Amino acid sequence: MFCTTLRHASIFAGSSLKLKTMKVTESALAGANRAARLTQRLLAFSRLQPLDPRATDVNKCVAEMSEILHRSLGERIAVETVQGSGLWRAHIDRAQLESAILNLALNARDAMSDGGRLTIETSNAYLGQDYAAVHADVAAGQYVLIAITDTGTGIPPEILEKVFDPFFTTKRLGEGTGLGLSQVHGFIKQSRGHIKLYSEPGVGTTAKLYLPRETGQPEASEKPTRILATPIAGRFTILIVEDDEGVRAFAAGAARELGYIVVDVTGGAAALEILKTRSDISLLLTDVVMPGMNGRMLVDAAIQIRPDLHVLYMTGYTRNAIVHNGVLDAGTRLLTKPFTLDQLDRELRDILGEA
């Protein structure tokens, strides 16, 4: 009986040791996996991860991710995808692109704790020389654009400029590494693309991914020659309302280069005072989201003063997101930031009957 007890004790001890060994092994493997993921993210941030860029159908990529996004975001988040027609192929690593889209979608989910809408849009885009000149590492040329817009809490300006910094996070301890957005940023930059965030507290955020176009030949950086400063343009005066100094300066400078007379102000109240005293204003070019009086409120008040006033909105958000979320009405004339001199030229000509 004594021998039997010893044998049972020996079996128990062996099982216990085996269990402890398994737990140590599992813990070590988990630690190794975490370290591997951290290393991968650091490589992405430092633009050193191995990439396999190929000609990619971005519309197909986004469509195939829809089910994953619906499952990942939950029932309280409505997901809408709007695919651009005639979309170019992008020269990009598809697996890493899918990871970036999911990463941005999960960040958007966290900003919509009470539910909301996520809109993913694709379109062809062109970044001009003027834009490239004031953004480091951006080459002027043709891109495939993916815009991801949420209706969440938005990001304050003082935080917006830090979101791509490694290890920066606004989440509580243990809820995030602070490497998600920096990983996306690193991947896009390594792919010779561009990423831009637009956000307004209480309104939401749009992340724009500019992916290099797959051409199979050197990329064209020039657009067809435009017609500038036509005599008729000088007959029109444009009132520009934009709270961002840099955007206002660019818009005003571009309109003047096109031959228009320009008056620019920072907010709605100043714009209304000008409309009361000047009858020569032909068109109001206003930002949509501004502190105090927003663009829609400004236009409603401006039309009461000048019923014949032409209106063109500009915004960092995408057309479908800002219309479908009820910020603007369908059919509203809208210029999406960043816009080029050519795009501004076409919109103004069309509205003012110069096309």
13-68: per-residue pLDDT in tens?
555 555 555 554 555 454 444 444 444 444 444 445 578 899 999 999 999 998 88
Q: Does the pTM of the predicted model rise above 0.85? A: no
| Residues 66-77, mean pLDDT to the nearest whole number | 90
As a CATH number, domain 54-212 is: 3.30.565.10
Give the per-residue pLDDT at 44.
40
| Residues 245-250, mean pLDDT to the nearest whole number | 92
Give the per-residue pLDDT at 136.
81
Q: Are 188 and 299 in contact (CB under 8 A)?
A: no
Give the per-residue pLDDT at 353.
81
Evaluate if residue 97 carries a pLDDT over 90: yes
Give the per-residue pLDDT at 37.
45
CA distance 191 to 141: 14
Burial tier of 342 (Cβ tally within 10 Å: 0-12, 13-18, 19+): middle
Q: Which of 200, 104, 95 is nearest to 146 (CA)?
A: 104
CA distance 313 to 309: 13
143: β partners? 125, 212
Q: Which of 154, 159, 202, 204 is nearest to 178 (CA)?
A: 159
Give the per-residue pLDDT at 159.
87
pLDDT bucket at 158, cuts 50 / 70 / 90: confident
| Residues 256-276, mean pLDDT to the nearest whole number | 95
More confident position, 287 or 326: 287
Give the per-residue pLDDT at 157.
86
Q: Where in the chain is the domain with CATH 3.40.50.2300?
A: 231-351
Q: Average pLDDT over the chain, rounded to whole?
A: 82
Strand ranges in 27-186 using DSSP code E only, listed in sequence order = 54-56, 77-82, 90-92, 116-127, 141-150
Hey, is 262 helix, strand or coil?
strand
| Residues 65-94, mean pLDDT to the nearest whole number | 92
Evaluate if residue 216 carries a pLDDT over 80: no
Give the per-residue pLDDT at 238.
97
Distances from the Cα of 193 to the Cα of 187, 263, 335, angstroms: 9, 35, 22
As a CATH number, domain 231-351 is: 3.40.50.2300
Q: Where in the chain is the domain with CATH 3.30.565.10?
A: 54-212
> What is the percent of the chain where pLDDT is above 70?
76
